[in-house]
Amino acid sequence: MKAQRINATRTTHKASDPSIPILYAERYRPQLHYSPPEHWLSDPNGLVWHDGSFHLFYQHNPGGNDWGYIHWGHAVSRDLVHWRHCPVAVQADPWGSGFAFSGCAIVDHENRSGLGVNGSAPLVALYTGATVEGVQSQCIAFSVDGGNSWAPYRGNPVIANPGTRDFRDPKVFWNIDREEWIMILAVGERLDLYQSKNLLEWQWISEFRCFIESAGDVLECPDLFPLRSASGEMHWVLIVSATNQTTHKDRATRYFIGTFDGRQFVPYDAHSRWIDYGPDNYATVTWDNVPVADGRRIAIGWMSNWRYAREAPTYPWRGHMTFPRELVLVEDDRGVRLASRPVDEIEHLHRESVQLDGSPIESEAVKVFFSRLPAELLDVELKFNWRGQTPEPFGLLFSNESGDVAMIIADVANDLLVLDRSQVGKSMPYGQNANKIEAPLVVIGDCLTLRVIKDRASVEVFVGDGRVAISANLFFDKPFDSVSQFGGGDVEVHGKASILESIWEDTVGSNNHV
């Protein structure tokens, strides 16, 4: 029995019913981040650029606000900022290949799979089919109309389960040197690599075992890709998330940098590093087939955490994505590191900018600068300078009259960046998970760069040109209505803040879908 295809757009409530918020104007609805009209969203899947559009697929329950009965939801964008909702794509087949768990999508340019019509290039989704008995295997669905409709491959599964419980989340890329497809797959506490010439027949070639932080961790959503550093040297980056059904820990998405010879990934060292230190960035993966003329490696993650994802106080949807980021390699005295930065297309949302010339952090000029800003929909880029003596902790503060306070703290003396959300949303079930989040503080000389993307109920913080990031949801008791600065003594600050428009301005009160 197959699930029926549904329209992903929910009918907008009439304004005459004041008890029900207008769609996309709800209390916690992200205004800068993608979220579905309604129901459950989790891991991004099938990120692929095709025919001028970025396709975003995601784990989706089209019938409810909790995880379960998983299909692939679908949205497309031409600028990574404004999104169109599409009908459900890869559908669950619980009595056949199974529910449509995470995976990837590629453009089969040469129609090597033979799934295209008259030799045309199909879009091919490779995903984990999970049966009602819990057996996971790798399956294929394909589209011959640019992603508008999808059909299952009759030969599923293309990789049968070898007898292991956790066997999922394929990510596939074309290895031009060997003219073959490479798949990286999460298998419990290790990652397996496979190769194929046609996407339909796969051969195991190697495995990679990485350091696991806690007993019981299971790896998920791997991604492997080449990336060139500023010096021109090519490196390979492996990103992988780890979940733990017992602890549901924070800070779960890590990366390794190393070499790949077409058969084996070898990291430069055994230490895993974090792509994001926040609790709300999981299953980060990157877009495939981005044009060479663009040249970027672009990523997105699920902006939630299994610790409380199923209790998030949102309705009629639950779950949203991080803001898309460009991944770059930076080099310093610690070697090569991965940095992430909001994609430049965020400038499409800049409605008004306020400039701040160099002024002491506690000066009247700085206070006036912040007083001119709303407490949401902001892109703040600041540089803090000091000379000589290490400054006292300083930073930004978002607050409201009911006592919700979120603080971004730069503690130079202790080399810490802190996002303190312990005083946010204390009256809700989410409040028991409110906490202080710590990350290394990247100071270059006597200077700290800080970038903050502030949405209605979340914040993404970047320091050191993106070398450290923290992503966190802020489910307030009452909306934030004030932003200000604090501390620092002799610290001087300059930069700008851009007030942003909502990505849904054309959606509220209308139907926005394919």
Which two tokens mark 383?
């540089």
φ, ψ for residue 321 (rounded to 5)? -100, 160
Residue of 43, 108, 411, 420 marked active site: 43
**89-92 contacts, C-beta under 8 A, 24 or more apart:** 89/46, 89/57, 89/125, 89/141, 89/143, 89/147, 89/150, 90/46, 90/57, 90/125, 90/127, 90/141, 90/150, 91/2, 91/3, 91/5, 91/150, 92/2, 92/3
Beta carbons within 8 Å of 456's beta carbon, 6+ residues apart = 28, 29, 30, 31, 376, 377, 479
Rounded (10°) CA dihedral 404, 408, 414, 416: 120
Rounded Cα distance between 403 and 476, Å, is: 10
Helix boundaries (H) for 353-481: 364-371
Rounded Cα distance between 301 and 318, Å, is: 15
Distances (CA, A) of 417 to 50, 176, 505: 39, 41, 34
- The closest of 236, 258, 290, 245 to 77, measured between CA atoms, is 290
Other CB atoms closer than 10 Å to residue 495's CB: what's the count? 18
CA 68 to chain centre: 20
Tell me the torsion sign for CA atoms 47, 184, 326, 254: positive
Rounded Cα distance between 114 and 175, Å, is: 19
Rounded Cα distance between 478 and 457, Å, is: 10
CB 253, CB 273: distance < 8 Å: no
What SS3 class is residue 468?
Answer: strand
φ, ψ for residue 130 (rounded to 5)? -120, 115
Active site residue 43: yes
Rounded Cα distance between 473 and 465, Å, is: 22
Task: Catalogue the active-site residues.
Answer: 43
